[in-house]
């Protein structure tokens, strides 16, 4: 599985856990709603600045964000 796909899955997982809509999260992260959609669906090769914005909007540390079995090598 592609890292950008794993990233999207992790974002979606954490967003849903917080009960937020894509639009609400996008607003908080200061990105476009449709951009957030394509990120979650693994369609975008997101750059690190936006990765930082999105993780911050999820109220989680970088460490905790990536410390998930989603990112385990297979």
Nearest to 4 by CA among 37, 32, 35, 40: 40
Q: Site for a second copy (CB under 8 A): which residue of 18, 32, 33, 62?
A: 62
Q: How many angstroms separate the Cα of 67 from the Cα of each of 10, 31, 33, 50? A: 10, 24, 26, 19
Smallest separation (angstroms) from a second copy to the CB of 57? 13
Any contact of residue 13 with DNA (CB under 7 A)? Answer: no
- Site pattern 8..47 for a second copy (x: CB under 8 A): -------------------------------------xxx
* Separation of alpha carbons 36 and 32, rounded Å: 6
CB under 5 to 8 A by kind: which of a second copy, DNA, none does 73 bind? a second copy
**Residue with structure tokens 């990233």?**
7
């Amino acid at each position: 599985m592609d890292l950008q796909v794993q990233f999207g899955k992790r974002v979606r997982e954490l967003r849903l856990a917080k009960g937020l809509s894509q639009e609400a999260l996008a607003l908080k992260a200061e990105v476009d709603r449709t951009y957030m959609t394509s990120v979650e669906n693994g369609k975008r090769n997101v750059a690190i600045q936006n990765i930082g914005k999105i993780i911050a909007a999820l109220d989680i540390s970088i460490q905790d964000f990536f410390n998930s079995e989603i990112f385990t090598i297979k």
